[in-house]
Structure 1
Amino acid sequence: MRLAPLACAVAGVLALTACGTSTTDSDVTSAELTSAELDLLTRSETFTRTTVDLANAESELISACMASRGFRYRADAADPTPESDEERSLNMKERRSRGYGLASQYASEKESAGTATNDAYLAGLSKKKADAYMKALRGGATDFREMRFGGGRNITFSARGCEADSRTSIYGSLDDWVSISYFPQNLNSELSSRVEKSPKYRSAMNDWRTCMRGKGYSYASPDTAYEQLKGVYRAKGATTALREREIAVAVADGECGAELHIPATVLTLRRSLAQSLPTSDKLQLRRLTAIWKAAADRVR
């Protein structure tokens, strides 16, 4: 898979196809993924800090752009969390309050997520001004484009408006912004089945099952626990007792994961297995990582 240049676009649709840059012999011999490339692929290590910096810069640019068009837009600056990759993956605080997040999906009354400042501002505008606000932010109905990725995944995005202008300013082109956002994610997903077949992962899951049995639960894997609870919600709806069980299972799952360092094991396996991805994919990842790093350097 490789990013198609604009010349490969048809009717406003871009695709990751073979019409990208050709692979040379020197490319093949130097296709070992670097730490930065693995960070972008697996969303680990330097990824969080870089993502926060880029998101903050984008928000500031959008705010300035919207102000120039007569609208208020609050740029909310975020700080990277001091947590490790494993702590972020387990997210014990979320598990203790919401479990796997299933109850809110099946409850008759959804949990309130609060109202963002910009959403509240938009809600207070007249329909005419609100329409103008959204056009300034994301363009009109005819400004949307689509990029196709492997596995039949299509991403739709607007090529106009303050969001698009800000992303172009940071990344150089919207095509590169979309590719950086989704191409590594797709590659990382493709590694999942290989991770699950590895002896180290299977051994970790054996230990996880033993740990969970010690806490009174019998599940084959974290995914199985999630899916079985989801099935009960579908069959019976959200009840207080089921929500309590969901939280208890999710917390036990996270505690076993932390005790056995399962997220760290999975991350190590992903970073190792990524080196055997097809050369064309690794070269595309290399190109996108260079753009990603250059964008981060510009905004810092």
Structure 2
Amino acid sequence: MRKSLRAVVIGSALTGGAIAVVVGCAFSAAAPAVPPAPTRMQLGQLAQAEERLVAGCMIAQGFPYVVPQITPPTGPATTFTFGNDDVAAAAKNGYGLGAASQPAADPNTEVFQRLSPSRQHAYEIALGGSGRRRVTVDVPGMGQVFTNTDGCRSDARRRLYGDLARWGRVHNLVTNLAPLAYLAVTHDPVFVSTLAKWRACMRVGGFSYADTGAAEDAAARLYDHLPKQDARRAETRIAVTDATCMRQTGLPAVGRRLQARHLAAVQAKYHDDIATYRTLVAHALAVVAENG
């Protein structure tokens, strides 16, 4: 289900840096040395510290760089939308298309666009690296992930977290655990059979979609060729039918229950990687605290 997974992420449009919300994992008393899961506020502090380090590095090389203000997200840490079963809300808001707030623009996008083409090329190399020196790590669920070892972005992360290969593996893995669990949910026989019931219900209502994400995508495309009011009415009709079928089949509750089960399984499987991730984050927080 392409659009059913809603993960809260904030980051920089130009650099590709992001704070990915980390789902907590319980550790037994046998491993008291493992730091607790970082809070979103702490992750925000580290992202802000990384930007300050990047800015210092870029300015030292003669490039302008504005430190963006990063605000940690509020509300639930990670939201998985297996479907909306609130029929009244669907009747009032549809899928809420066009109502979502846009992320704050990266101030460095404008800085970058003001540069000449040759300076833009040099800027990209100074920031993200040349591509000639890199480390490659294998990350479950993501395959091989490449990280340049030169450039201000990598330099900042090295100063915070140490070894880039080690950090690259555990960071990408830990922030991808929830999607790994979600993938397992979509292949779970219980979820598959419940989704089939939802599809059958939708067909009775006159719609044929693979899942709620596909239904929302179809509703969004209506705005490309219909007057806004007509598209809005059609969107609402799809959303109400969707929510009605969600309520009848219980798909959202099934998805949430299975997500919790599969997430616990992947957390147990990658216990050591989670411990390493937390240790590196704790080290970075100490570095930030020591350097103000």
TM-score bracket, normalised by the shorter chain, equals 0.5 to 0.7
Q: Residue 98 of structure 1 contacts residue 247 of structure 1 at CA under 8 Å; is this kept in 2?
A: no
Q: Does 1:156 align with 2:146?
A: yes
Shift of 1:287: 1.7
Query: What residue is the counterpart of 1:299 in the other structure?
Result: 288
Aligned residues: 248
Q: Residue 125 of structure 2 contacts residue 151 of structure 2 at CA under 8 Å; is this kept in 1?
A: yes
Q: Residue 59 of structure 1 contacts residue 75 of structure 1 at CA under 8 Å; is this kept in 2?
A: yes
1:148 counterpart SS class: strand
Alignment of 1:1-300 (within 5 A): 36=36, 46=39, 48-85=40-77, 96-98=96-98, 116-151=106-141, 153-196=143-186, 197=188, 221-226=211-216, 229=218, 238-240=224-226, 244=232, 248=236, 266=255, 269-277=258-266, 281-299=270-288
Q: Which amino acid counterpart does residue 226 of structure 2 have in structure 1?
A: T
* CA shift in 2, pair 1:152/1:214, >3 Å: closer
* CA shift in 2, pair 1:99/1:29, >3 Å: same
Shift of 1:174: 1.4
Structure 1: any 5+ residue segments left out of the alignment? 1-26, 41-45, 101-111
Q: Residue 212 of structure 1 contacts residue 219 of structure 1 at CA under 8 Å; is this kept in 2?
A: yes
Which is richer in helix?
Answer: 1
Q: Which amino acid counterpart does residue 292 of structure 1 have in structure 2?
A: V
Query: What residue is the counterpart of 1:17 in the other structure?
Result: none
Shift of 1:258: 11
Q: Which amino acid counterpart does residue 284 of structure 1 have in structure 2?
A: D
* CA shift in 2, pair 1:79/1:28, >3 Å: closer
Spell out, residue by residue over 1:13-69, the C-alpha distance to the aligned partner (whole angstroms, 9 max, x if none). Answer: xxxxxxxxxxxxxx99958xx9956xx8xxxxx3x4343222211111111111122
Q: Which amino acid counterpart does residue 133 of structure 2 have in structure 1?
A: D
Spell out, residue by residue over 1:63-105, the C-alpha distance to the aligned partner (whole angstroms, 9 max, x if none). Answer: 11111222111111122233224669699999524489xxxxx
Q: Residue 144 of structure 1 contacts residue 158 of structure 1 at CA under 8 Å; is this kept in 2?
A: yes
Q: TM-score when scaled to structure 1? A: 0.59
Q: Residue 208 of structure 1 contacts residue 256 of structure 1 at CA under 8 Å; is this kept in 2?
A: no
Q: Which amino acid counterpart does residue 192 of structure 1 have in structure 2?
A: Y
Identity of matched residues, % = 21
Measured in 1, the distance between the counterparts of 2:194 and 2:214 equals 15
Shift of 1:167: 0.8
Q: Residue 185 of structure 2 contacts residue 255 of structure 2 at CA under 8 Å; is this kept in 1?
A: yes
1:154 counterpart SS class: strand
Q: Residue 55 of structure 2 contacts residue 67 of structure 2 at CA under 8 Å; is this kept in 1?
A: yes
Q: Which amino acid counterpart does residue 163 of structure 2 have in structure 1?
A: S
